Structure formats: structure tokens, C-alpha cells
Structure 1
Amino acid sequence: MTTLSGRPHTALLVIDVQNDVMTGAHERDGVVANISALVDRARAEDVPVVWVQHSDDGLAFGSEGWQYVPELARRESEPLVHKKYGDSFEATDLEEVLASRGVGRVVVTGAQTDMCVRSTLHGAFVRGYDVTLVSDAHTTEDLTSYGAPTPAEVVAHTNLYWGFHGGPGRRADTVATKEVTFAAAPAGGPATRD
């Protein structure tokens, strides 16, 4: 259903599941376990797994905190996209990586929900991708001291609004890990929400 012609495939995006990003993250272990299960399923189904890794002044490229959490291991054959902005498409080669694999739908996991995950959801959608958010495979830290809702509320709200997101010729949906399918979304019909 994507508006990107000749792009029938799906890819799994794993965004910023890095040591410092995940320190103190809401439901950290469960989220990492769900992402790991999705990575295993994608590999078994020959679906591209694309790893996204953030760096900035507070998260130094190559540092221990910048590394992916030890529970998740990228294979050398799997693309790694380095970014400096919230949207994983911004000033990166993500579009080229996906285009070269015929990907028109992305399944999004990772951190942080209210920053890089949301930016990437919208970035993918406005670029013509169908976008599935995995409801129990993204997380954020506690930013309530800055006036933000609790991490659980941020995750719940993002799951809710993304399940109702839409646009001409594209599909957005929110599903739980156990409900993820890497098959192309059918044309038309309502999005699936959990």
C-alpha cells in the first residue's frame, strides 16, 4: 500500500537501543527481549534488520555508552545507520539502505519513544512509507522532572495516536510483538491496534 512504487518489502528498524540511552529506561528488559525476538524472527524470514545508532555531544561516537546493549548483536551483513538527529532519515543514508532492498514498509522499535522513535515514525510516513509501531518494543526514560508525562503514559499515548494515524496511500498501525507480521500490509482496510 506504500506510496513508494516498486518497494514491496518490509524492514525492521532498531533505533538507538544503546547503553546510555537504555539506562533507566521504562520496562527496559522486557522491551529489549521483545526487540531481540523480533530480530530473530526477521532474520528467520529473511527480512532486513536495520540498526540505527545515535551520537551527539552527550553520547560520544565509539564510547561504551554509545554501544548497543549487550543483549542485541548486529550481524556484519546488517546495515548500520549512524545519525545525529531524532529522525533516523535526517542527514543519514537510511533512505538509500531501504531503497536498495525494495523496502516500502518499516516496523519500528527502539528508544526513546518521545524523541527518536516519534521523529522516525513521522519521518518515514511523510516520505511515503507504511509504518508499523511495535507497542511493547519501544521505551523512554523518566522526564517527569521536566514536566513530561510518566514513561508509561508516553508509551501508551504514542501507541494510541499512532494507531489512529493515517494518510493517502499509506498505512500506519500499532501492534504488539506477538502480532507483528513482516508481510506487506493489505491495501485498504483499517489499521490494526492492540
Structure 2
Amino acid sequence: MTTLQDRPHTALTVIDVQNGIVAGAHERDRVVANIADLVERARTHGTPVVWVLHSHPEHLPRDSDAWQLVPELAIADGERVVHKTYADSFEETDLEDVLAALGAGRLVVAGAQTDECIRSTLHGALVRGYDATLVADAHTTEDQSAYGAPTPDLVIAHTNLYWTYHRAPGREAGTVTTADAQV
């Protein structure tokens, strides 16, 4: 039900599943396996997969080992890669152009970090007119509780809870499990 004209398609958007980002993430292996399942199903059904890779000159330099996609996942020929330096995958990137070229008005979102780049991108998509579905068991975050944040399991549970009921005029949000995701 996107508000974007002539955008009937869905894109699986995989955000920041990079060595340096998910190395210590909550239930990393299970989440990465779920993302791999989503990617395989998307490819089988002809749903475009858009990969988003974060970089930071000090903490995550582009082309470093930490910046690389985790070894369990691989970008296939022809799949689009978006490079970002802000939490919202739309900010100062070509994501909007990539999605427009694909005719995508609905995003299925998976990846990391739940409390930063996942949330920012979901909200960024919704305010730009996209439908945005979060795959509830295919996103993760690291433990920031030493800084006063809730533990990762609670951050993930809270994000899933509020995104399940999130809506905007003419746009849909919500959550699905990996098994139920329509990709």
C-alpha cells in the first residue's frame, strides 16, 4: 500500500551484516542463518536483494576485514550494494535511486544493529513513502547495557513490539518471522 507511484515490487534489504558489526552481536549465528535463508528465498522468487554496507573512517574503514560482509553471506552478480556512513540507509546514499530503478515500494528489512541502523532505516523508509516490514528474527545488536541500554534481547523484543503496530497514512509497517516473510 506504499504511497510511491509505480512501485509494486518488494526488495529484501540486508543492512550491515559485516564482520566488525556483528562479531559480538546477540545470537549472531542464528540471525545470520535466518538472513541467509531470506536471501536464498528472495533469489529463488526473483525478489531483488539490496545490500547495505556501513563504513566509518576510524571504526570501520572501507575495504578492511571488519568492513567485509560476513563469510556466510555473499553478494550475487547483479545485486545492488549501497554504501552508507549514517544510521539511516537513505541518508546521503543512492538507496532511493536503487529502489526506484527496481520499482520497489515495499522493503523487507533484516540485519544489524537493531537499535541504530535498523530502526533508523525503517523510519526513514516509512517517512519516504515505503512500506517497511521488519523480519523479527533476522536482526540483532551488540550489548550496550554497560552504557545504560537494555540488554540486546530486550532491545530486539522492544523494536519488534513497537514496529508490529507502527503505521502511517497510506503506508504499512509490521513484523514477520523469517518463515513467514514474503520475499
**Structure 2-normalised TM-score?**
0.99
Secondary structure of 2:116's match?
helix
Q: Output the CA distance in 2 between the equivalents of 1:55 and 1:24.
A: 17
Equivalent residue number for residue 25 of structure 1? 25
Deviation at 1:23, TM superposition (A): 1.0
Equivalent residue number for residue 36 of structure 2? 36
Equivalent residue number for residue 166 of structure 1? 167
Equivalences for residues 103-114 of structure 1 within 5 A: 103-114=104-115
Deviation at 1:139, TM superposition (A): 0.1
Q: Output the CA distance in 1 between the equivalents of 2:44 and 2:76.
A: 13
Deviation at 1:76, TM superposition (A): 2.5
Equivalent residue number for residue 190 of structure 1? none
What is the aligned length? 182
Equivalent residue number for residue 132 of structure 1? 133
Root-mean-square deviation over aligned CA pairs: 0.5
Are 1:5 and 2:5 counterparts? yes
The aligned amino acid for 2:51 is: W
Deviation at 1:94, TM superposition (A): 0.2
Secondary structure of 2:174's match?
strand
Deviations 1:71-112 (A, max 9, x none): 000012100000000000000000000000100000000000
Equivalent residue number for residue 89 of structure 1? 90
Deviation at 1:126, TM superposition (A): 0.3
Q: Output the CA distance in 1 between the equivalents of 2:182 and 2:10.
A: 9
Q: Output the CA distance in 2 between the equivalents of 1:77 and 1:6.
A: 22
The aligned amino acid for 2:153 is: A
| Identical-pair percentage | 65
Deviation at 1:171, TM superposition (A): 0.2
The aligned amino acid for 1:142 is: D
Q: Output the CA distance in 2 between the equivalents of 1:69 and 1:9.
A: 27
Q: Output the CA distance in 1 between the equivalents of 2:83 and 2:155.
A: 25
Secondary structure of 2:173's match?
strand
Q: Output the CA distance in 1 between the equivalents of 2:97 and 2:24.
A: 33
The aligned amino acid for 2:88 is: D
Secondary structure of 2:64's match?
coil
Deviations 1:113-164 (A, max 9, x none): 0000000000000000000000000000000000000000000000000001
Runs of 4+ with deviation above 4 angstroms: none
The aligned amino acid for 1:160 is: L
